Amino acid sequence: MYTQLQHRDLPEPPVNIGTLRKMKADGVPIACLTAYDASFALLVDTAGTDLVLVGDSLGMVIQGHGTTVPVTVADIIYHTRAVARGLRRSFLVADMPFMSYTTPDQALHNAVLLMQEGGAMMIKLESGEGQFEIVEHLARHDIPVCAHLGLKPQSVHKIGGFRVQGRDPEAARQMVGAAKRLEECGADIVLLECVPNEVGQAVTEAVGIPVIGIGAGPQVDGQILVLYDILGITQGRVPRFVRNFMQGLDSPLAALTAYVQAVKDRSYPAPEHCFS
Ligand code: KIV
């Protein structure tokens, strides 16, 4: 009864929140990626990715919008369902889209949809002071939560662009405080986007839960990147922290495996991918 049918032939058990906590405790880097469909999910899983996020970045890389703001709960459910079918070992997290968590009850309602209809094992929400009560409410109902700090793309129109966060000491201090408070409220993971290395390190040392960085330097517990960025599909200017893993390789699976390896041996991120 405790073994899922799809997992019966797996050489190692699927990743769960306990696995991720142990990886932090043992200093084993957590390799994470986004995915949006079943075929890529299968490749990402085969490459050894520990955690897969169905990010609202799908609004930009799949739907072609300029921001993540137009993405809906129905969009995330659709893509999460597809990704869930492609995964066997990786831990599946789904993003709560813009304005889907304005009150504790709305957040709980939508988180339940992402888990029951989409098959997500955890939900992620862009968090700050305004979300402490929401994270607490979700945690009280046993919804696993990944809190998202640093650059919060859903706030792009409020902050005036996609830019590095936490550069001044007061903002950095507030971010560390928010991470601690979110942990107290019951968050299971913190995702930290686009901050100087020093802030990545300070947040990682301040909390007991895993910290996954994207443009947050090498001293976090794990790394995540947008799938289309690392496969060289994204056109135009890409953020400083992106590395194209397709370079010199002849298949998406080889590139994804190289990414996982580079996270595990800490050769990614290199200094040229970091903010300091
Ligand atoms: O939506 C997304 O893809 C994200 C990234 C930070 C990984 O949240």
**Distance between Cα 73 and ligand 1 center (Å):** 15
Closest approach atom of ligand 1 to CA 95: 1
Give yes or no: 193 in active site. yes
Q: Kindly indicate the confidence band of residue 12, based on its pLDDT and cuts at 50, 70 and 90.
A: confident
Q: Catalytic residue among 117, 170, 193, 198, which? A: 193
In this prediction, residues 135-143 reach a mean pLDDT of: 98
Q: What is the pLDDT of residues 28-65, one digit of tens each?
A: 999 999 999 999 999 999 999 999 999 999 999 999 99
Q: How many CB atoms lie within 10 A of CB 100?
A: 22
Pocket residues for ligand 1 (CB within 6 Å)? 34, 53, 55-57, 95, 193, 214, 224, 226
- Residue 276 or residue 37, greater confidence: 37
pLDDT of residue 2: 67
CA distance linking residue 103 with residue 114, whole number of Å: 16
pLDDT at 118: 98
Query: Tens of pLDDT along 141-195?
Result: 999 999 999 999 999 999 888 999 999 999 999 999 999 999 999 999 999 999 9
- On whether the CB atoms of residues 171 and 150 are closer than 8 A, the answer is no
Question: Whose alpha carbon is nearest atom 1 of ligand 1?
Answer: 55
In the reported structure, the alpha carbon of residue 49 is separated from the centroid of ligand 1 by a whole-number distance in angstroms of: 15
Per-residue buried b or exposed e for 21-51, using 16+ beta carbons within 10 Å of the residue's own CB: bebbeeeebbbbbbbbbeebbbbbbbbbbbb
Which atom of ligand 1 lies closest to the CA of 34?
3
User: How confident is the model at residue 16, as a pLDDT?
Assistant: 97
* 184 alpha carbon – ligand 1 mean position (Å): 23
Residue 259 confidence (pLDDT):
98
Is the pLDDT at 68 greater than 80? The verdict is: yes
| Tens digits of residue pLDDT in 257-271 | 999 999 999 999 999
Spacing, Cα 63 to ligand 1 middle (Å):
15
Task: Report the pLDDT averaged over residues 199-225.
Answer: 98
At residue 52's C-alpha, the angle toward residues 182 and 135, to 5°, is 20
8 Å CB contact between 185 and 205:
no
Q: Hey, whose CA ends up nearest to atom 2 of ligand 1? A: 55
**For residue 269, is the peptide bond before it cis, meaning its omega torsion is within 30 degrees of 0?**
yes
Distance (Å, whole) CA 51 – CA 69: 24
**pLDDT at residue 1, as a whole number:** 62
| CA–CA separation, 90 and 48 (whole Å) | 8
Q: For residues 136 and 186, is the Cβ–Cβ distance under 8 A? A: yes
Please provide the distance, in angstroms rounded to a whole number, between the alpha carbons at the two ends of the chain: 50
